[in-house]
Amino acid sequence: MIAGHVVRTPLVPTITLSNDAGVPVHLKLEHQQVTGSFKLRGAANALLSLDPERRARGVVAASTGNFGRALAFAASQAGVPAVICMSKLVPGNKVEAIRALGAEVRIVGTSQDDAQEEVDRLSAEHGMAMLPPFDHADVIAGQGTIGLELLEDLPDLETVVVPLSGGGLLAGIALAVKSANPRARLIGVTMERGAAMHASLRAGMPVLVEEVESLADSLGGGVGLANRHSFTLVRDLVDDVVLVSETRIADAIRFAYRQEQQVVEGAGAVGIAALMAGLIERPGRTIIVLSGRNIDMNRHAEIVSGQPAEATRA
Ligand SMILES: *Cc1c(COP(=O)(O)O)cnc(C)c1O
C-alpha cells in the first residue's frame, strides 16, 4: 500500500561501533525517510487505508512533531485537509515544518493528553478521521515495513535496537521480525526521565508520567490510559527496555555526526547511546534503528561541537 509513498532506507554496517561492541553492527538509516522520520510509513498506511469518503473529510492528529509532519505530508499528497494538535513542549522548528506542508496547526496545553482532547473534539464535531501516532493497527503495520526491509537485508540478524515511546515503531518491527525469526531479540531504548512506556510496563498497565524536557523530545508523551494495541504488543514482544541519560544522548548525536556523518535527532540517537554505554547484553549481529533527524540545526551545532562526556561504561 505504501510502496511508492515512502523510500526504502539503507542498512549500512558501522565499522566504529562494530569494533567498539565486538560484534557486527548495522545502522538502519530511517532518519533519511521523507519528512525526516519513520513516521511517514505509519501515517501513509493509515491514511491510504481509510475509505475514500471518510478520507475526504480530512484527518486530525495529536503529535510531538514527527507524526504530525508525516501525516501533513501524506495528507497533502492525497489532497485532503489535515489538522495537527500539539502541546507547547514541541520545538518551534517542528511546528513550522508542519505549517509549511499546508496543515493547520493548533497548539494546546502542555502535554500530549491536552492536545488529544482537541483532537477528540474536532473528530466528534467535524467528522475528521482521527489518526493516532502509534496506537492504531494500520500505523503499526506501516512501521512494520521497516522490519520487512531488515529481514531482506540481514536475514540472520540477532538483535534489533529500537527507540521506544508509544511503541508503534517497536511493535511493528517486532511483529514483522519475530514472525520470520522468532529468536531475534528486540530491545527498546528510551530516556531516563519521563518514559511513559517504561513506567507502564513496570506497572503492568498504562500509567501517566509527568512530561519533562529531553534531548529525545520525540520520545515524550504518554501511551494513553485507554491504549488498545501498542502497550500489549510491546509488553509481549520486547525482550528488554533500557534507559539512557541526556549526556549519553548528546554523546550519541555527536558520534553519529562525527563518525558516521549522519545528522540525527535525540530520539534517533538513543540506540547508539545504549550500545555505546554497554547497556545491550550479548548483542550478537545487531541493527540499530536511527529513527529521525528533525533536530533544530543550531542546537545540533552546539551539541556536536561540545566536548564528549566521560567515556565510562555503565
Ligand atoms: C515517534 C518517534 C519515536 C518513537 O516511536 P513510537 O512508535 O512512539 O514508539 C522514535 N523516534 C522518533 C524520531 C520518533 O519521531
Q: What is the mean pLDDT of residues 239-250?
A: 98
Q: What is the pLDDT of residue 313?
A: 40
Do residues 59 and 29 share a domain?
Answer: no
| Ligand 1 close to Cβ of residue 24 (< 6 A) | no
49 and 153 share one domain: no
More confident residue, 224 or 235: 235
Domain span at 229: 11-36+136-304
Closest atom of ligand 1 relative to the 134 alpha carbon? 7
What pLDDT was estimated at residue 69?
Answer: 92
Q: Is residue 257 assigned to a domain?
A: yes
Reported confidence tier of residue 312, pLDDT bands at 50, 70, 90: very low
Interval 81-102 mean pLDDT: 88
* Mutation choice for ligand 1 from 73, 191, 219, CB with most ligand atoms inside 8 A: 219
Residues 59, 16, single domain; the answer is: no
Give the pLDDT band (50/70/90) at residue 58.
Answer: very high
Is the pLDDT score of 309 beyond 60?
no
Q: Hey, which of 291, 294, 295, 300 would you mutate to test ligand 1's pocket, going by the most ligand atoms within 8 Å of its Cβ?
A: 291
Query: Does 312 fall in a domain?
Result: no
Residue 178 is a catalytic residue: no
From 130, 152, 170, give the residue that closes a domain. 130
Please state the atom number of ligand 1 nearest to the C-alpha of residue 42: 7
Q: Which of 130, 156, 191 is the last residue of a domain?
A: 130
Ligand 1 center–CA 224 separation, angstroms: 15
Same domain as 295, residue 166? yes
Residue 6 lies in a domain: no
My answer on whether 111 and 161 are in the same domain is no
39 pLDDT more than 90: yes
The verdict on residue 311 lying in a domain is no
Domain final residue pick, 110, 130, 150: 130
* Residue 169 Cβ < 6 Å to ligand 1: yes
**pLDDT bucket at 307, cuts 50 / 70 / 90:** low
What rounded mean pLDDT belongs to the chain?
Answer: 94
For the ranges 61-70, 134-143, 165-174, 281-290, the lowest mean pLDDT is seen at 61-70
pLDDT at position 34, please? 97
Query: How much of the chain, in percent, has pLDDT values that exceed 70?
Result: 97
Residue 188 near ligand 1, beta carbon < 6 Å? no
Is 183 found in the same domain as 141?
yes
**Whether residue 147 sits in one domain with residue 66:** no
pLDDT tens digits along 111-141:
877 888 999 999 999 999 999 999 999 999 9
39 catalytically annotated: yes
What is residue 90's predicted lDDT score, i.e. its pLDDT?
Answer: 78
Shared domain for 166 and 273, answered yes or no, is yes
State whether the beta carbon of 268 lies less than 6 angstroms from ligand 1: yes
State the CATH number of the domain containing residue 69: 3.40.50.1100
Model confidence at 1, in pLDDT bands (50, 70, 90)? confident
Judge if 87 and 196 occupy the same domain: no
Determine if ligand 1 sits within 6 Å of the CB of residue 68: no
User: Confidence band (pLDDT; 50, 70, 90) for 306?
Assistant: confident
For residues 94, 41, 155 and 163, what is the CA-based torsion angle, rounded to 10 degrees?
30
For residue 64, what pLDDT is reported?
A: 63
Residues 69 and 121 in one domain: yes
Examine the domain organization and report whether 93 and 183 are in the same domain.
no
Q: Tell me whether residue 211 is in a domain.
A: yes
Average pLDDT over residues 164-186: 98
Cα 164 to ligand 1 centroid, rounded to whole Å: 6
| pLDDT higher than 60, residue 229 | yes
CA 153 to ligand 1 center in whole angstroms: 22
In a domain, 3, yes or no: no
Catalytic residue among 39, 165, 178, 218: 39
Name, of 3-7, 215-219, 286-290, 306-310, the range with top average pLDDT: 286-290
**Residue 2, domain member (yes or no):** no
Q: What's the total number of domains in the chain?
A: 2
Whether 173 maps to a domain, the answer reads: yes
The reply to whether 182 and 67 lie within a common domain is: no
